[in-house]
Amino acid sequence: MSVEIHPTSIVSPKAKLGVNVKIGPFCVIEEDVEIGDNTELESHVSVKRYTTIGSDCKIHEGSVIGGIPQHLGFKGEETYVRIGNNVTIREYVTIHRGTSFDDGITKIDDNSYLMAYVHIAHDCKVGHDTILANAVTLAGHVKIGNYVFIGGLTPIHQFCRVGDYAMVGGASAVDKDIPPYTRAAKNHVLLYGLNLVGLRRRGFSSEQIKILKEAYRILFRKSATIQEGIKEVEEKLPSTPEIQNLIEFVKTSKRGIAPEASKRG
């Protein structure tokens, strides 16, 4: 099927559009843009230079994809936005290019859903099958894992990470790392155990959840320090892929891990 471009839209002849791409009214597609098969842009969407969008995506009104970073050190260098397949981007989302202070890439992986007014700053990485609810704001260099849910109106501080299968409640203020498989909320953010509903929905077995519960208890409730908790988990619990993922995340934290709610009274 042919490409459909509304007559009010401006599309650079140097843009590459796949099969069955649909460009709605008053869109602007700059040069050095690639858009995959069956992707649809509704009205007033701007796609800036050095942006790649995969197949079967839906981008709603007013979104700006590939804007230059809000970074005072940015000098116009060639950096990128890369969006995977089957990504939904709702109204007025903004996604900025990377910078030379990182790998130069802002990336959204397959099957993710960005609700209205989400902002993705420079050099962020968002994993696959992840949902960012309305007005979630990611500062620069934030890393969000796979199968994550972030509630609406939640800002996330630069360089923070949210691990796989985690859930962050709405209107939280995230200034520390959120480990995989956990549930976090409040301002400033605290840990409230495992994301049990999310884990069960994703097919985690009772045995997997039991081991993760014990690891959580040791790491974040029992142990005086994270280092002591890591040592005990490695000595006492089976080295399942989930435990390895959790321990590696905690070991590599630079921002520090969000506190456990019970330790904050």
Any idea where the domains of the chain sit in the sequence? 4-144, 200-264
pLDDT of residue 54: 98
Q: Which of 83, 79, 81 shows the shortest CA–CA distance to 66?
A: 81
Across 109-244, the runs of DSSP E, i.e. the strands, are: 113-114, 119-120, 125-126, 131-132, 137-138, 143-144, 149-150, 155-156, 161-162, 167-168, 182-185, 190-194
- Pairwise CA distance, residues 247 & 261, whole Å: 20
pLDDT of residue 1: 62
Sign of CA dihedral 18, 20, 21, 26: positive
pLDDT of residue 38: 98
Mean per-residue pLDDT pooled into runs of 10, the chain (265 residues):
94 98 98 98 98 98 98 97 99 98 98 99 98 98 98 98 98 98 98 98 98 98 96 98 98 98 82
- Pairwise CA distance, residues 208 & 221, whole Å: 19
pLDDT of residue 265: 60
CA atoms within 13 A of residue 197's CA, in its CB half-sphere:
6
| H helix and E strand count, the chain | 4, 27
DSSP, res 159: T
Let me know: does 105 contact 50? Beta carbons within 8 Å. no
Beta bridge partners of 120: 95, 138
Contacts of the segment 180-187: beta carbons below 8 A, 24+ positions apart: 180/145, 180/242, 180/245, 180/246, 180/249, 181/212, 181/216, 181/242, 181/246, 182/216, 184/258, 185/151, 186/261
CATH class of 200-264: mainly alpha
pLDDT of residue 263: 85
Let me know: does 223 contact 231? Beta carbons within 8 Å. no
- Pairwise CA distance, residues 196 & 127, whole Å: 20
As annotated, the active-site residues are: 122-123, 140
pLDDT of residue 36: 98
pLDDT of residue 119: 99
Given CATH 3.20.20.140, say whether it is the number of domain 4-144.
no
- Map tokens 């490695």 to a residue: 234
